[in-house]
Each structure stands twice: as C-alpha cells, then as structure tokens.
Amino acid sequence: MILLLDRQVIGVYSTDMDQKQSRNKQRLTQQALRRLRIIKGQVEGLARLIEGDEYCIEILNQSLAIQNSLKSLDALILERHLITHLPNQFRLEPERAVRELLKVFRRAHKGG
C-alpha cells in the first residue's frame, strides 16, 4: 500500500504493520475528533462569556482551558504522525523527517 501525502509518495507500508497502524490511527483520529468537539464547546462558551460581559478572570480561565485543550490536541496529532508517517519517512527521507520535526518543535517553543 502506498501512502500519499501532499501528492508525494512518503512510503510503502508492510502488511504486517498495516493493521496495527490502522488501529492506532483510527483510535487517535477518534480521540482528536472528540477533543475538537470539546474545544468547539469551550470556544462557544468563551464567546458567551465575552458577549455577556462576564468577569474578566472567568473569561481568561476559559481561554486558558481552551489553550490547554489545543495542546492536548497537538499531542494527539503528533502521536498520530509518529506512529503512521515517521517510521517510513525516516527510512526514505531522514533529512526531511528531522527538518519537519525541528520546525514544529521550534514553532511550539516560541515565546508568546
């Protein structure tokens, strides 16, 4: 099976790994979608707080909760990448794999 990503061939998965990777990918996808539904509700709640001119600390607490939920989502997406794409990418394009991971790491650790 060939995996296409951004119209580039990333790698060929062996049939031994297909089932396990597929299960892990499905599990992580479901967890990410669940996390997104939670974030959606949190953002809607934040909008209601702002529209209702609620106490600023309550608004900030809700905003911080959303940011933590986004970090949790990022971790799920990274785990999915590490399980489903990285092994073959390291085998076929190790420089690209390192470059992509470093780019994401640097973005995640920029000061805000």
Q: Which two tokens stand for residue 48?
A: 């209601």
Whether the CB-CB separation of 8 and 100 falls below 8 Å is answered with: no
State how far the Cα of 35 lies from the Cα of 73, in Å rounded to an integer.
6
Please give the Cα distance from 23 to 57 (Å, whole number). 42
Domains of the chain, CATH where assigned: 2-108 (1.20.58.1000)
Residue range 46-82, pLDDT digits in tens: 999 999 999 999 999 999 999 999 999 999 999 999 9
20-45 pLDDT tens trace:
878 888 999 999 999 999 999 999 99
Q: What is the CA radius of gyration of the chain?
A: 18
Structure tokens belonging to residue 67? 């940011």
Q: Which token pair is 11?
A: 């790698």
Q: Say if CB 84 and CB 21 are below 8 A apart.
A: yes
Distance CA 54, CA 80 (A): 38
Cα gap 105→1, rounded to integer Å? 30
